[in-house]
Amino acid sequence: MKKAIPVIIAIVLIVVVAGAGFGAKLLEKYSYSKERADLKEYFGVRGADDVPVILQDERIEEHAKLWDGVCYFDLATVHKYFNDRFYEDKKEGLLLYALPDQVVRTQIGTDILTRGDESEARGYVIARYEGDMLYIAADYVKEYANFSYELFYEPNHMQVYTEWNERQVATIAKDTQVRYQGGIKSDILTDVSKGDEVVVLEEMENWSKVKTKDAFIGYVENKRLEEQSTQTPVPVTDYVEPVYESNTRDYKINLAWHGIGGVDGNETLDGMLADTKSINVISPTWFTLVGNEGDFSSFATQSYVDKAHERGLEVWALVGNVESVDVDMYEVLAGTTNRTHLIDGLINTALEYGLDGLNIDFENISLDAGEPFIQFIRELSIPCREHGIVLSVDNYVPMGHTDHYDRAEQGLVADYVVIMGYDEHYAGSDEAGSVASIDFVERGIADTVDQVPAEKVINGIPFYTRIWQTSGTSVSSQAVGMEKARAYIAEHGITTRWDEETCQNYGEYQSADGFCQVWLEDVESIRVKLNIMQKYGIAGVAEWKLGFEEPSVWDVIEEYMNQ
């Protein structure tokens, strides 16, 4: 028996040790981790002045900055999430904001803003640079956008709301932790106490994804949540979008462009109008940009305006850059001094001659000049609105590469957005084709009215046809008026047929010099285009250009105007 005692003791010890080990494993498996997450890493804090942003219920890639106790967003973030009307003048160190009646400006790096002749101090630097990046104080942005924000520290992060939709909330039933992932072994993000309210973002079987009042997003066990309910936050409504009053007409517009090659071209007005019908606006191509400082040449005469007015026509003079030699549109429009010089010159000239409107025809605007261009339109609209001058802006048919023309903003601040519903195939095209097939025209109108109110949209139609010649890989064309196109067809014995795809009369023939093709613009093609325009209920029609048309085309245009 005595010999068995040590054996028994050994067995007992083995059992105890094994039990302790098993218990330890059980304890390890089912106990809650006390490891805490690296919060700077969790939020992605990049430095002492960096502030990660939680927008609504997600952390976004954009970060804010905290300088001298003031929170700042970079300009791209402001444009993307809050308001894209802030304009940075890099040349002159200005931050501008165009209102319907004035431009608010601040010298970057100061706390002073100027409205007209009055200056105001904000008590903080409104906008500042870090390197080449412009940052704007969040409190200043809030003057022009409805959003709320709250800053948190250790580590820096901020909660931003731009929407205030219904959300699910719950109360913490017992002191617990919010963890990085759903599971007791996941690292702890923060502690929550009994009675704290959290937003429930996603509910799973045992855990729920929640957001705490200080913008930690993680997971809490469902058994720790109680009193779930639906909550509707109170929205921020401090900022009221200003009203941009439009100087539109309560009748259809029929605008005819009048090509003026010089001052003597004004004398052709009577002849150009002789066979026309239902025109109520004439747009002479009078003003052309010259140099990069905002100057322009002018063919304007008072006698032309007086004669047009006697005929009951409004005069919306065209301001163009197509024939501007060595003009850099970015240089003209980006700097406030040059831009203001151009605007002042146009308005003074319009008032001098008693013009009824201006038609801005800036083509081939580069991507970098897109923002300066739309800022120019915003700023030009202010004195136009003040003096009752109609502001219309010409645009290509909407395509992906012309998005920087910002038709939606044009439609807000300008009176009319004019579609140049032609040049589907143009002088530089590498293949022959229609100048304005019906699908091209309808797509242009449909895409524009998606961005601009239909009552502000005018569609331009072509009075010209291109005669195409293809020889091998060489493609060339010449633009001719309707009568010359018919003469060409007759001279070459071309038989035309109606093409349902383009809704144009099409003809072709093989010559010694190559394969010739013609998609005619004539009464029939114009009628179909006008029917589409009527379908969309747009503001009217414009014609490029007087002198290229057959007299009979005015009959179908008059029918459209009377619908």
Mean pLDDT of 21-28: 50
Res. 435: pLDDT tops 50: yes
Q: What is the DSSP string of 421-483?
A: ---SS-TT-SS---SS-HHHHHHHHHHHHTTS-GGGEEEEEESEEEEEEEETTEEEEEEEEHH
Res. 561: pLDDT tops 80: yes
> Which among 343, 244, 78, 294 has a CA at the least distance from the CA of 88?
78
Mean pLDDT of 539-557: 98
**Confidence band of 2 (pLDDT split at 50, 70, 90):** low
Mean pLDDT of 454-473: 97
> Which among 98, 140, 136 has a CA at the least distance from the CA of 121?
140
Domain boundaries, the chain: 42-152, 165-231, 253-464+526-561
- Report the pLDDT value the prediction gives residue 183, as an integer from 0 to 100: 96
From residue 323, alpha-carbon distances to 202, 294, 542 in Å are 60, 15, 21
Tell the residue number behind the tokens 């802030």, with chain if given: 86
* pLDDT tens track for 329-346: 999 999 999 999 999 999
**Confidence band of 30 (pLDDT split at 50, 70, 90):** low
Tokens of 497: 């047929």
pTM of the model: 0.93
**Confidence band of 70 (pLDDT split at 50, 70, 90):** very high
Q: Domain 253-464+526-561 is in which class?
A: alpha beta
Eight-class DSSP state of 368: G
Q: How far is 99 from 239, CA to CA, in rounded Å? A: 13
Fold category of 165-231 in CATH: SH3 type barrels. (2.30.30)
Beta bridge partner(s), residue 146: none
Q: How far is 269 from 263, CA to CA, in rounded Å? A: 12
How many Cα neighbours within 13 Å face the side chain of 15?
A: 6
Q: Contact 281/256 with Cβ under 8 angstroms?
A: yes
Q: What is the DSSP string of 123-175?
A: SS-SEEEETTEEEEEHHHHGGGS--EEEEETTTTEEEEES----EEEEEE-S-
**Confidence band of 399 (pLDDT split at 50, 70, 90):** confident
